[in-house]
Amino acid sequence: MSPSPLSPTRLGPRLGAATSSAPLYAAGFVTAFGAHSIAAGMGAQSENIGLTLHTLGLLLAAYDISEVFLKPIFGALSDRTGTKPVIVGGLLAFAVLSLPGLWGSDPLMLGLARLGQGAAASAFSPAASAMVARRAGGKKAGTYFGRYGSWKSLGYVIGPLLGAGLILAGGFTLLFAALSVLAAVAAVWVLICVPHLDPLPRQRYTVIDLARQVTERRFLVPTLVLAASTAAMGSAIGFLPALAAQHGMGPVAGTATVSVLAIASLLVQPRIGALRDQERIGDSHGMTTGLLLTASGVALIALVPGPVTLFISAAAIGAGIGISTPLGFAHLAETTPPERMGRTMGSAELGRELGDAGGPLLVGGIATVSALPLGLGALALLVAAASLPRVTGNRARRSQAET
């Protein structure tokens, strides 16, 4: 009888010490911190560096455009070469490709830096997720992805705040220099502390096999959950400060609402991951609960926006994301054969990027022709609808995952 996809004989060596996981969490922090610190900084400094709204939009999208096209490719590459070389190479590339941002007063150089950073993050982000999955070894996927997601949320929390401080102290030059150094340090940390995991033998796949794998329910449902959660997060990060300004709360209060969202997600994710591994929460019901909580938070600000409800909504959205995200990734990790973990994580990350871009576009498009509450209401309905499909399997059946 052949071993199951998640048995020790196929998983390869487990990473031993807890310290070997910390550099992987740092890689997640780098991509979140880099993306959000620069995005917030460009928005705040757009007039000072002569950016039109159109140019600002293009610069904001440059990072995500790179990720949408490249994450599945680099995810598949990590299956062929092993995850560690892709993580280290991606982090070093992030450090180098951040250097054009030292001339951040030039929109062209800003665009090149954002495009390059997005391309580099496309390499190390899915590879890090794949290595976290192998680190879990089919037993503690919830715990590890809860911690990984928590570190990403930390990047969302302090990215705009620290980025603003660095820009105030030394302009974009200091911010991009700090990001370059941070990525280089993370690369060295991974290189020294994370053991190399050899790529696992892979069977040959036809185009039909690949199409079947990406349309399987065990892949589509958690990826849909991740996309819906990220759509809500991206929209909230963009529109909560705008709503705060409409209600006379000022920019500090607007930033505070986003921080409440990120802190709620940061605190919830590790707890939910641990509860999952203790079998006190199931993937299907947990992901449904997370999406419904997220949808309720979005609906609240659509129906009764105000100084108090903005913070309540931010907490609900953050907690809902904190529930659904680690469960979605953990389910993917435990139902995917390890030898194609990188490709699966890259494709799932693609789903998240589409949600991150699609959510704000949906809300903004509807708001342009009608009103912002209608756009948020439409998003709430779509997030709630994403909670309807259920995964058919559970961890008791994870050994049935196919190669």
Question: What pLDDT sits at residue 247?
Answer: 83
Question: What pLDDT sits at residue 291?
Answer: 97
pLDDT confidence band for 95 (50 / 70 / 90): very high
Rounded Cα–Cα distance for residues 297 and 292 (Å): 9
136 by Cβ neighbours in 10 Å (0-12 / 13-18 / 19+) ranks as buried
Q: Which amino acid is at 97?
A: L
Rounded Cα–Cα distance for residues 140 and 21 (Å): 13
Question: What pLDDT sits at residue 5?
Answer: 41
pLDDT confidence band for 396 (50 / 70 / 90): very low
Question: What pLDDT sits at residue 398?
Answer: 45
pLDDT confidence band for 287 (50 / 70 / 90): very high
Rounded Cα–Cα distance for residues 337 and 369 (Å): 46
Average pLDDT over every residue of 141-147:
87
SS3 letters for 343-389? HHHHHHHHHHHHHHHHHHHHHHHHHHHCCHHHHHHHHHHHHHHHCCC
Q: How many CB atoms lie within 10 A of CB 304?
A: 13
* Structural tokens at position 336: 């995917």
Q: Which of 80-89, 316-325, 385-394 has the lowest mean pLDDT?
A: 385-394
Rounded Cα–Cα distance for residues 313 and 328 (Å): 22
Question: What pLDDT sits at residue 204?
Answer: 60
Average pLDDT over every residue of 350-367:
85
Please give the model's pTM, rounded to 2 decimal places: 0.80
Question: What pLDDT sits at residue 6?
Answer: 40
CA pseudo-torsion sign 111, 180, 171, 356: positive
Rounded Cα–Cα distance for residues 322 and 335 (Å): 21
* Structural tokens at position 253: 């209060």
What is residue 297's three-state secondary structure? helix
C-alpha closest to that of 120 among 146, 140, 97: 97
Question: What pLDDT sits at residue 48?
Answer: 66
Question: What pLDDT sits at residue 225?
Answer: 95
392 by Cβ neighbours in 10 Å (0-12 / 13-18 / 19+) ranks as exposed
Rounded Cα–Cα distance for residues 326 and 330 (Å): 6
Unique residue bearing structure tokens 């820009």 = 167
Rounded Cα–Cα distance for residues 332 and 321 (Å): 16
> Which residues fall within 8 angstroms of residue 345, CB to CB, at 6 or more apart?
75, 126, 127, 129, 130, 133, 329, 332
- Residue range 194-249, pLDDT digits in tens: 888 777 666 665 556 566 666 788 889 999 999 999 999 888 877 887 788 788 88
> Which residues fall within 8 angstroms of residue 106, CB to CB, at 6 or more apart?
none
Average pLDDT over every residue of 272-284:
91
Instruction: Report whether pLDDT(191) > 90.
Output: yes
Most confident of 156-165, 307-316, 339-348, 366-375: 307-316
* Structural tokens at position 124: 């190390």
What is residue 392's three-state secondary structure? coil
Q: Which of 14-23, 130-139, 162-171 has the lowest mean pLDDT?
A: 14-23
User: Average pLDDT of the chain?
Assistant: 82
- Residue range 148-166, pLDDT digits in tens: 888 888 887 788 778 878 8
Average pLDDT over every residue of 50-74:
73
- Residue range 14-38, pLDDT digits in tens: 434 455 788 888 988 998 888 878 7
C-alpha closest to that of 240 among 290, 161, 309: 309
Rounded Cα–Cα distance for residues 104 and 42 (Å): 9
